[in-house]
Amino acid sequence: MKGGLVISLDFELMWGVFDVHTIKSYGENVLGGRTVIPKILDLFKKYKIHATWAIVGMLYCKDENELLESLPDKLPDFSNRKYSAYEHISIANLEDHKQYYFSPELIKLISNTSYQEIGTHTFSHFYCLEIQNRPGAFEEDVKKAINIAQQKHNSSIRSIVFPRNQYNSSSLDDCIRQGIYAFRGVPDSFVYSTRKREKETLLIKLLRFIDSYINFSGFNTYKEPQLSNGIINIKASAFLRPYNKKLAWIEALKIKRIKRSMTYAAKNNLIYHLWWHPHNFGKDSNNNLENLEKILEHYRYLNLKYGFNSLTMQECAQTYKV
Q: Mark the ranges of the chain whose per-residue pLDDT is less than 50.
A: none
What is the value of pTM for the model shown? Answer: 0.96
Q: Which H or E run contains 139?
A: helix 137-153
Among 92, 114, 90, 119, which Cα is nearest to 12's?
119
CB atoms within 10 A of CB 205: 11
Among 9, 10, 17, 8, which Cα is nearest to 101's?
17
Contact (CB, 8 A) for 285 and 39: yes
Query: Tell me: the pLDDT tens digits for 266-311?
Result: 999 999 999 999 999 999 999 999 999 999 999 999 999 999 999 9
**Distance, CA of 302 to CA of 280 (rounded, Å):** 26
Q: In the CATH scheme, what is the code of domain 4-320? A: 3.20.20.370
**In the prediction, which pLDDT does 321 show?**
65
**In the prediction, which pLDDT does 2 show?**
85
Domain boundaries, the chain: 4-320
- Dihedral of alpha carbons 60, 64, 69, 71, sign: positive
Strand pairing category for 238-239 and 271-276? parallel
Q: Distances from the Cα of 199 to the Cαs of 130, 163, 164, 193, 202, in angstroms?
A: 11, 16, 12, 10, 9
**In the prediction, which pLDDT does 163 show?**
97
- Dihedral of alpha carbons 290, 312, 109, 176, sign: negative
